[in-house]
Structure 1
Amino acid sequence: MEHAETVTFGGSGLNRAAHLRGAIAETLADPAARCIVLWRGKPLLDGAGAGLSRVPLDHPVLGDASDMRLFLGLDEGGPVFAAELTRWDPDVSEAADFGAFLDPSQQHHPAMPAAAHFAELRAVMTTLSARDAELAATARAVIGWHGSHRFCSTCGAESAPDDAGWRRVCPACGTFHFPRTDPVVIMLILSGDNVLLGRSPGWPEGMYSLLAGFVEPGETIEAAVRREVFEEAGIAVGPVRYLASQPWAFPSSLMIGCLGLATSTEITLDPVELEDAVWVSRTDMARVAHGTHPTIKPARAGAIAHFLLENWLADSLD
Structure 2
Amino acid sequence: MPSPAALDGFAFQASTLDRADALRGDAAALRESWPDARLIVLDGEGRAAADAGGGLLPLRGARLGGGPGTAVFLGRVAGDAWFALDAAAAPVPEAAQWVDLRSAAAHWPAESSSLFAYARGMLYWHVRNRYCGVCGGAVGFDRGGFVGHCAQCGNDHYPRVDPAVIVAVSDGERLLLGRQAGWPPRRWSVIAGFVEPGESPEQTVAREVHEETGVRVRACRYLAAQPWPFPGALMLGFEALAEPDEPRVDGELEQARWFTHAEVGEALRRDGTEADGLLLAPPISIARSLIAHWHANGAMLTPA
In the TM superposition, what is the alpha-carbon distance from 1:58 to its structure 2 partner? 3.4
Which 5+ residue runs of structure 2 have no aligned equivalent? none
Residue-by-residue CA offset, 1:83-104 (whole Å, 9 max, x unaligned): 111369xxxxxxxxxxxxxxxx
**Matched letter for residue 165 of structure 2:** V
Name 2:269's counterpart in structure 1: 290
User: What are the residue-to-residue correspondences of 1:132-171 with 2, within 5 Å?
Assistant: 132-171=112-151
Name 1:233's counterpart in structure 2: 213
For residue 245 of structure 2, the aligned residue among 265, 275, 278 is: 265
**Matched letter for residue 286 of structure 1:** G
**Matched letter for residue 216 of structure 1:** E
Residue-by-residue CA offset, 1:132-187 (whole Å, 9 max, x unaligned): 12211110001101111221111111211111111100000111100000000001
- Number of matched pairs: 292
Residue-by-residue CA offset, 1:245-302 (whole Å, 9 max, x unaligned): 00000100000000110123211101x2001111111100011112358332121110
For residue 275 of structure 1, the aligned residue among 254, 261, 286 is: 254
Name 1:7's counterpart in structure 2: 10
Are the equivalent residues in 1 in contact too, given 2:38–2:60 (CA < 8 A)?
A: yes
* Cα distance change on mapping 1:47 and 1:24 into 2, 3 Å: farther
Structure that is richer in helix per residue: 2
1:52 aligns with 2:56: yes
For residue 308 of structure 1, the aligned residue among 273, 276, 290 is: 290
Aligned with 1:314: secondary structure? helix
User: What are the residue-to-residue correspondences of 1:14-25 with 2, within 5 Å?
Assistant: 14-25=17-28
Name 1:103's counterpart in structure 2: none
So what's the TM-score if we normalise by structure 1?
0.85
Distance 1:67 1:15 in 2: 20
For residue 41 of structure 2, the aligned residue among 30, 37, 41 is: 37
**Matched letter for residue 12 of structure 2:** F
Name 1:73's counterpart in structure 2: 75
* Cα distance change on mapping 1:316 and 1:52 into 2, 3 Å: farther
**Matched letter for residue 35 of structure 1:** L
**Matched letter for residue 31 of structure 2:** L
**Matched letter for residue 83 of structure 2:** F
Distance 2:116 2:299 in 1: 27
So what's the TM-score if we normalise by structure 2?
0.88
Name 1:96's counterpart in structure 2: none
* Cα distance change on mapping 1:305 and 1:13 into 2, 3 Å: same
* Cα distance change on mapping 1:152 and 1:317 into 2, 3 Å: farther
In the TM superposition, what is the alpha-carbon distance from 1:54 to its structure 2 partner? 3.2
Name 2:226's counterpart in structure 1: 246
Q: Percent identity?
A: 36
Distance 2:56 2:7 in 1: 24
Are the equivalent residues in 1 in contact too, given 2:20–2:75 (CA < 8 A)?
A: yes
Aligned with 2:133: secondary structure? coil
Are the equivalent residues in 1 in contact too, given 2:39–2:83 (CA < 8 A)?
A: yes
For residue 163 of structure 2, the aligned residue among 176, 180, 183 is: 183
Aligned with 2:88: secondary structure? coil
**Matched letter for residue 125 of structure 2:** W
1:86 aligns with 2:59: no
Aligned with 1:247: secondary structure? strand
**Matched letter for residue 112 of structure 2:** D
* Cα distance change on mapping 1:293 and 1:315 into 2, 3 Å: farther
Distance 2:296 2:284 in 1: 17
Q: CA RMSD in A?
A: 2.4
Which 5+ residue runs of structure 1 have no aligned equivalent? 89-108
